[in-house]
C-alpha cells in the first residue's frame, strides 16, 4: 500500500526552522523540491542538468520510462535552486557533487542520508510514520485528486501511459484526507 501525507503536514515540513541543522535542512528542501515537481523521483532529481532548465520550464526524461516530462519552473523551485546553487558540476541540484564515474554511488548515498533525516523531520512535526522521499509522489497525486485536477492531468504529471494506470495508482494510496489543499 502506497502512503501519503496531507498538505497541512507538507506545510509543517516546509515551515520548519532547520537553519541550525544543515543536514535536516537539505533533506527537507529536497523533499519539498520533489513535491513541487509533481513527486519527481529522487534519481530523476539527482540527474537533472542545468541545461534541463530553460525559458521558465524544467524538462527531463524519467530514468524509469525514458518519457519526456516538462513543467513550469516555480518560485519555490527557484528558491531551493538558489539556496544550493553549485557551479562545480553540470547537475542542477547538489546531490551529485563529482562527475567522476561515481555518480550512481553518490546518488544512492544521498538518498539514504536524506531518507534517514526525513524520519527525524517527521518526528519533529509529530508524524508517527517513516517519512521518505516516496511520500512526495503519492502525496502530490492524492492532493491533486482532492483539488479536482482532471485525471488526465494527474496522469500526465506522473508520467503514466494511461489514465487507467493512474486510477489504479491513486486507488492504491492510503492517505488521511484534508479539506485544505492549498500549499
| 183: pLDDT strictly greater than 70 | no
Least confident of 13-17, 126-130, 172-176: 172-176
Work out the average pLDDT over 2-28: 95
Whether residue 183 lies inside any domain: the answer is no
pLDDT at position 59:
97
Whether residue 180 lies inside any domain: the answer is no
Q: Please give the model's pTM, rounded to 2 decimal places.
A: 0.91
Domain span holding position 46: 2-174
pLDDT at position 181:
40
Residue range 51-97, pLDDT digits in tens: 999 999 999 999 998 899 999 999 999 999 999 987 789 999 999 99
Whether residue 145 lies inside any domain: the answer is yes
SS3 165: helix
pLDDT at position 16:
97
Residue range 96-144, pLDDT digits in tens: 999 999 999 999 999 999 999 999 999 999 999 999 999 999 999 999 9
SS3 155: helix
Q: How many CB atoms lie within 10 A of CB 153?
A: 12
pLDDT at position 1:
65
Please provide the DSSP assignment of 72-138 as one string: EPPHHHHHHHHHT---SSSBSSTT----SS-HHHHHHHHHHHHHHHHHHHHHHTT--S---THHHHH
Total domains, the chain: 1
- The span from the CA of 110 to the CA of 55, in Å, is 29
pLDDT band at 178 (very low <50, low <70, confident <90, very high): very low
Residue range 24-43, pLDDT digits in tens: 999 999 999 999 999 999 99
Cβ neighbours of residue 79 under 8 Å, at least 6 residues apart? none
Whether residue 69 lies inside any domain: the answer is yes
Whether residue 84 lies inside any domain: the answer is yes
CA atoms within 13 A on the CB side of 77: 20
- The span from the CA of 76 to the CA of 88, in Å, is 23
Question: Which domain CATH number covers 69?
Answer: 1.10.443.10
Amino acid at each position: 500500500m502506497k502512503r501519503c501525507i496531507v498538505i497541512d503536514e507538507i506545510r509543517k515540513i516546509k515551515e520548519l526552522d532547520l537553519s541550525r541543522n544543515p543536514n535536516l535542512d537539505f533533506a527537507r528542501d529536497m523533499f519539498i523540491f520533489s513535491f513541487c515537481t509533481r513527486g519527481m523521483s529522487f534519481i530523476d532529481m539527482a540527474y537533472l542538468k542545468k541545461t534541463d532548465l530553460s525559458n521558465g520550464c524544467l524538462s527531463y526524461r524519467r530514468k524509469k520510462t525514458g518519457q519526456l516530462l516538462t513543467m513550469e519552473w516555480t518560485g519555490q523551485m527557484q528558491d531551493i535552486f538558489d539556496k544550493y546553487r553549485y557551479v562545480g558540476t553540470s547537475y542542477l541540484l547538489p546531490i551529485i557533487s563529482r562527475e567522476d564515474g561515481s555518480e550512481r554511488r553518490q546518488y544512492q548515498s544521498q538518498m539514504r542520508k536524506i531518507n534517514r533525516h526525513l524520519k527525524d523531520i517527521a518526528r519533529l512535526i509529530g508524524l508517527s510514520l517513516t517519512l521518505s522521499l516516496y511520500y512526495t509522489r503519492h502525496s502530490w497525486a492524492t492532493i491533486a485528486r482532492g483539488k479536482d485536477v482532471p485525471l488526465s492531468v494527474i496522469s500526465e504529471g506522473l508520467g503514466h501511459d494511461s489514465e487507467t494506470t493512474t486510477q489504479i495508482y491513486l486507488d492504491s494510496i492510503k492517505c488521511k484526507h484534508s479539506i485544505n489543499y492549498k500549499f
